[in-house]
Chains A and B, each alone.
Chain A
Amino acid sequence: MDLFFDTFTNATSMLADPAVLLAIALGAILGSVAGAIPGMTTTLAVGIALPFTFGLRPITAVAFLIAITVGTNYGNSIPAILVGVPGTPSAVLTALDGYKLHQKGQSGVALGTQYIAALLGQLISAFFFVAMVVPLAQLLYVFLAPELWALQLLGIVAIISLTGKNVVKGLVAGALGLAVTMIGPDPVALTGRFTFGIVELRGGLEIVPVVIGALAISELIRSCRQVYDWRQSSGGFSAKFPSFGLARRILRPIGIGTVWGTIMGAIPGGGGVSSAFVAYQQAKLTSKKPEEYGEGSVEGLAANESAQNASQSGEMVPTFGFGIPGSGSMVLLLAALTVHGMVPGPLLVKETPEMLYASTAGLIGGTLVLALIGWPLAKAMLRLVQLDRSVVLVMALLLSMVGVYALRNAVFDVGVMIFFGLVGYFMLRYGYSVAAFALAVTLGHDFEGYLRHGILLTDNSFGTFMSRPVTAILVALSIGLLIFGIAGNIREARRAKAALAISGDALVLVGPQPGAQEPGERVARVEDLGGTALREHEPDQRRERGSDDKT
C-alpha cells in the first residue's frame, strides 16, 4: 500500500521538476501532432522520438516517451472525426461514429465527447495501472530464474497467440527474434556465437536499432509502396462542449471503456484496437439505444475513445509489472531503458522505482496538459491531414537514421536498423508478427540466461525446474494460450472458407495486378480457381434454399 501512495506522491513531485514537466508537455503535444497524422502509429512516433531521449535523464526520457503515447492516443481521433481518416488503427471505430456525427453537423458534440472520454479514460486508467502494477511487482520479488523464464515464455506466447492471423507464423517470428539475440556472447559460458569474425558483432547486436528497424523502418518502407494524398478536409467545425445531459449519458460507456481498455491492454498483444472493439461491443450490449451504434452514437464514440486511451495504461502493466512489454511502443520504451543502463525485466520496479514514478507522471501529466490545450489544438491539428504524405515518410526515414546513429555514433547501428527494416517489411507483408519478433529480441538474452541459470539452480534437473509450482502454472498457461491461438486461427480459417463458398460466383484478384497506367484488374471466379469449398457447404445451402421455398 505504501508503494501505491508513494508512487502518486513521487509522480506529483516529479511534475514539479521543470525539466520533467517541459518534457511531458512537449511529449503530449508532439504525440498529439503525430497521432493526427494518418499512418503515424504510436510505435512509429515513439521510434522516431526515441533517439532524442538519449541525452536526457532516464526519468525525463521515460516521462517524455509515455507522454508521447498519451498524446498519440488523443490526437489520432481528431482526423478520424473531422475527415473520417483514423490517425492510427485504434481510432477506426472513432471514424465510424465520430465522422457520422460530423456529417450530421454535430462536430462539436463529437469532439467534445472524444475530449471528455479520452482524457477521463486515460486519467482513471492511470490509477488502475498503479493499483495493478504495485502488487505484481512486489509478487515478483520472490521469483527466481525458473519463474522468470516461465514469465517471459508466457509474454512471448501471449503476443504470438493474440496478434497476427497465423500462430505458426507468430511462432516463427518469435523464434527469429530469439535467434537474433544469440549473436554475440553466450549468457553463461560467454563464448562468442554467430559473430562470423565481425568485430562489431562480438558484443551482440544493440537492441534499439534492431527493434526500431523491425517496428518503425519496416512500416515506413511498407508505406512507400503507395503514393497518395490523405483526404483533404473542406469545412471547419463549431467548438461546442456536449450538454450536461449528454455528458451524463456518456459516463456509463466511459466506465465500460476504461475498465475493458485497461484489462485488454494489460494482456500482451491485446492492444488498443482489440480494447476499442471489445468496449464498443460491451457498451452496445448494455445500451438503451443500441440502434444508434455505427450511425453516429456518442455512447459508442465515448466507449471506444476511453478504451483505446485506457489501453495505454493497461499496456504498461506487464511492461513494468513483469518486464514484458505489452505492445510495440512498450518494446521501444524498454529498449530506451537499456540505453540508460537499466535492465528491463521483472525487477525493474524494485531496483528503479523512479521509473514507475516517471511513467505515472507521464500518464497523469500528459493527460493534464492535454486537458488544458487539447481543445484548442484540435482545430490546428486538422491541418496535419493536409501534409504531403510522401514528405512525412521521407523525413521520418531520415530522422530515424540520424537518431539511431546518435545512439553510439556508429554507422554500423544504422546499417543494422536498415537491414532489420527489410526483414520487418517482409514480415509485415506476409503476416509474421513483428511485435513478437521485437519482443523476443528484447527478452531473448535473458530468456536463455534464465533457463540455463534455472537448470543450474535446480541441480541440473529439468523435472525439478518445471515442477516448481509457479513455473508449472505459467508454462501451463503458455500452452493453454498457444492452443487458444491455434483454435482461433482454425475457427477464423473455417469462417473465411465458408464465406468464400457462399460467394462462389464472386470475382477475386488473381496474379500480379496491373499498374496505375493500365486500368482494370486481373480477376477470376472463385469456382474456376478450385470449387471444393463450395461443395462442402452445398448441403447447408440446399437446406437453406429449401426452407426459403417453404416460406
Chain B
Amino acid sequence: MDRRKDVAVAAAITLLGLVIAILGTQINLGRIRDPIGSRAMPIAIGLLIMAGGLLLAGRRLVRWRSEPTVVREEGTSDEPDVPAHTLRSMAVWAICFVYVLLLGTLGFLILTPFLLVALLWIMGVRTPVRLAVITVLGIAFGYGVFDLLLGVRLPLGPLDPYLGDLG
C-alpha cells in the first residue's frame, strides 16, 4: 500500500467529517424537541469521522521519515504475480456511471450493448464474434428474465411505444 495514497484518503475523510459536522449545525430542529435533538448525532458523527481521519493521516505523517513508501497492506490485496491497474477499475466504474445517467433516456435495449461491449473490451475480450455473442446473450438474459419473466418494467427509452407492453 502506497502511504501517500493512504494519507490522501485519510485527508479526504477528514474533510468529509468536517463538512458533515458543519452541515449538521445547520439542520432545522423542527417542532418536536428531545434532549439530544436532530443536530447532535450528525455533528458527533462528523467530528468522529474528522478525528479518525486526522489520526490516520497524522500517524502516517509522524512516521514519514522512518517508514518506506510502500507500507504494510491494510486493504484487500491483489492477486500476486498479476499486473493490477487502478485505471481499468476507474474506467469500468465511469462507464457504469455514464450508463446510469443515460439509462432513463436511451433505455436498456439501446444502451446495454454499448455498456457490455465497452466493459468486455476493457476486460480484455477483443474477438468480435465473442463480443457479439456475449453481448446478445447478456441482453437476452437480462431483458428476458427481468422484463418478460419477472414483470419488471425496464426503461426502454425510444423503444417504449413499441415494446413497452411486452413485459
Contact = CB atoms under 8 A, between A and B. Distances in A.
A, B co-complexed: yes
Interface of A: 52, 55, 164-166, 168-169, 171-172, 175-176, 178-179, 182, 186, 188-194, 221-222, 224-228, 388, 390-391, 393-395, 397-399, 401-403, 405-406, 409, 411, 414-415, 418-419, 421-422, 425-432, 448, 451-452, 455-456, 460, 493, 496, 508-513, 515-516, 524, 526, 529-530, 532-533
Interface of B: 1-2, 5-6, 9, 13, 16-17, 20, 23, 27-38, 41-42, 45-46, 48-49, 52-53, 55-56, 65-70, 72-76, 78-79, 82-86, 88-89, 92-93, 96-97, 99-101, 103-104, 108, 112, 115-116, 119-120, 122-125, 134, 138, 142, 145-146, 150-155
Given A405-B152, A513-B83, 14 more contacts: A165-B73, A188-B34, A193-B38, A194-B23, A221-B89, A227-B124, A398-B115, A398-B116, A406-B146, A409-B153, A415-B101, A511-B2, A512-B2, A530-B67
Given A226-B82, A228-B79, A391 B48 contact: no
Contacts, number: 216
Contacts of A524: 68
B34 A452 contact: yes
B71 to A, nearest CB: 9
Contacts of B108: 402
A189 B42 CA distance: 14
Given A182-B45, A222-B89, A169 B123 contact: no
B32 A172 contact: no
Contacts of B138: 394-395, 398
Contacts of B124: 227, 390
A229 to B, nearest CB: 10
A152 B66 CA distance: 40
Nearest to B104: A411
Contacts of A399: 142
Nearest to A403: B146
Nearest to B102: A411
Contact of A179 (B6, B29, B34, B49): B49
B21 to A, nearest CB: 10
14 contacts: A168-B56, A171-B48, A194-B42, A225-B84, A225-B85, A225-B88, A227-B124, A228-B82, A391-B134, A402-B146, A405-B155, A409-B153, A431-B73, A508-B68
Given A398-B112, A429-B75, A532-B66, A189 B29 contact: yes
Contacts of B69: 510-511, 529
Nearest to A220: B92
